[in-house]
Amino acid sequence: MDHKPRILFYFLHLLGVGHVFRAQRLIEGFSRHGFAVDIIYGGQVLKEVEFAAESIHFLSPIRAADNSYSAYLDADNQPLGKPFQMRRAREIEVIFDKLNPDIVITEAFPFGRRMVRLEMGTLLKAAQKRRPKPIMVSSVRDILQERKKPGRVEETCDWIDQFFDRVLVHSDPSVIRLDSSFPLADRIADKFSYSGFVVPPPSIEPVMHQFDVIVSAGGGAFGGELLATARKAAEQRTDWSWCLSSGPNLAADQFRSLADRCPPHVTLTRYLPNLAGQLKQARVSISQCGYNTAMDALVAHHDSACRAVFVPYDVEGQSEQLRRAELLQKGGYGICLPQSSLTEQRLLRSCEQASKLDRVDHQINFDGVDNSAKLLLSWLNER
């Protein structure tokens, strides 16, 4: 191409922050491979996160009302209504009119994020009319939330058939295939490309403290029960040093309650620097099983003697983490203890089981960032 290829990347987070950090890693890779990236950011702003982008366009944000994801709120904390959705659609229309992308990437949609289908329809139709038409790509993680309502999976396939050229799946299919959670994958399989898992680059930050057990709650929005149970379990294993990493979104009162009850061999922190490096020095990793946290545990399993206990968030109708944890347990990468079954005794037994797991002798594809950029370049060259 005779110009720097441009990507327009649309993403948002509704409660958990994993989508933002995965997008950040992908954008860094795109930039490193010579792309110019413009962002449409549809959720609440995380001020501590920076992007290797040429422009960022913030929409009036929306968020999930609670952990069940059954209702959504607008920028004024009011239930999401049609006028507000129309306003966001107009914002996207104005933004797109100013940009000239070679590729448009929608993170999760149409496999998820159904509440933004009005604004997505606006973006996709505008892209279809553009000449030359940009390559349309849907970017999805390894596991999808189960669609329980009849017709939802078929609706997703219809969106893909009508608007999308490619589906970029951020997984290693020898570990987790998209068809394990998307029953009509064969219908659109000709558009799938697996990138490998998206993981952070190796950190040069030194590991200052070593712990036997590291309990990570990811962003913390769903981690209160896990952390409270782990603290109680730690009281029975004083021969292990424990670190509880709450994440930034654990409620302040829950954090204070934990801090008041932690014994001397338990360290509580909001943020554990170089988590991947810390895990490689630990005996056991305890975490939920969101995408990013699972990747940290997989890298540690591959590179060290650390073994994982996954406590997937399987309440409030959520199935994604449970399915991922079950598949990883089946592959020998950890022990699955669903949050709905969590007690301190079961957690301790799971730690003992995990510590006895052998290393799985399989070369996992952790090159999802670079491979994603290379796939985009190949699709541009084909065009």
pLDDT tens readout for residues 103-156 = 999 999 999 999 999 999 999 999 999 999 999 999 999 999 887 788 999 999
pLDDT score recorded for residue 2:
55
Q: Please report the DSSP string for 248-277 in residue order.
A: TTS-HHHHHHHHHH--TTEEEES--SSHHH
| Cβ 74 vs Cβ 81: under 8 Å | yes
Strand order in the sheet with 103-107: 55-58, 36-41, 6-11, 103-107, 135-140, 166-169, 192-194
Q: At residue 54, what is the residue type?
A: E
Residue 1 has pLDDT above 60, yes or no: no
| Cβ 39 vs Cβ 51: under 8 Å | yes
Task: Determine the average pLDDT of the residues in 156-182.
Answer: 96
pLDDT score recorded for residue 146:
83
Q: State the pairing for strand pair 63-64/36-41.
A: unpaired
Cα separation of 102 and 382, whole Å?
13
Give residue 207's pLDDT band: very low, low, confident or very high (50, 70, 90): confident
Q: State the pairing for strand pair 72-73/63-64.
A: antiparallel
pLDDT score recorded for residue 200:
87
Residue 365 has pLDDT above 90, yes or no: yes
Q: Please report the DSSP string for 208-241 in residue order.
A: ----SEEEE-TTSTT-HHHHHHHHHHHTT-TTS-
What is the residue-averaged pLDDT of the chain? Answer: 93
Report the CATH architecture of 213-355: 3-Layer(aba) Sandwich (3.40)
Beta bridge partners of 213: 242, 284
SS3 155: helix
Residue 62 has pLDDT above 70, yes or no: yes
Indicate the domain borders of the chain. 6-194, 213-355
Task: Determine the average pLDDT of the residues in 351-368.
Answer: 95
Cα separation of 128 and 111, whole Å?
20
Least confident span in 200-204, 259-263, 342-346: 200-204
Pick the CATH number of 6-194 from 3.40.50.2300, 3.30.70.360, 3.40.50.80, 1.10.220.70: 3.40.50.80
Computed from CA positions of residues 105, 108, 111, 112, in that sequence, does the dihedral angle turn out positive or negative? negative
Give residue 284's pLDDT band: very low, low, confident or very high (50, 70, 90): very high
pLDDT score recorded for residue 17:
81
305 CB-contact burial (10 Å; exposed 0-12 / middle 13-18 / buried 19+) = middle
The rounded percent of the chain whose pLDDT value lies above 70 is 99
pLDDT score recorded for residue 153:
94
Least confident span in 79-88, 172-181, 217-226: 217-226
The rounded percent of the chain whose pLDDT value lies above 90 is 81
pLDDT score recorded for residue 70:
83
Q: At residue 236, what is the residue type?
A: Q
Q: State the pairing for strand pair 55-58/36-41.
A: parallel
pLDDT score recorded for residue 336:
98
pLDDT tens by residue, 219-259: 777 889 999 999 999 999 999 999 999 988 888 999 999 99
Q: What are phi and psi of 283, to 5 degrees?
A: -90, -45
6-194 and 213-355 in the same fold: yes
CB atoms within 10 A of CB 129: 7
pLDDT score recorded for residue 260:
94
Beta bridge partners of 244: 215, 268
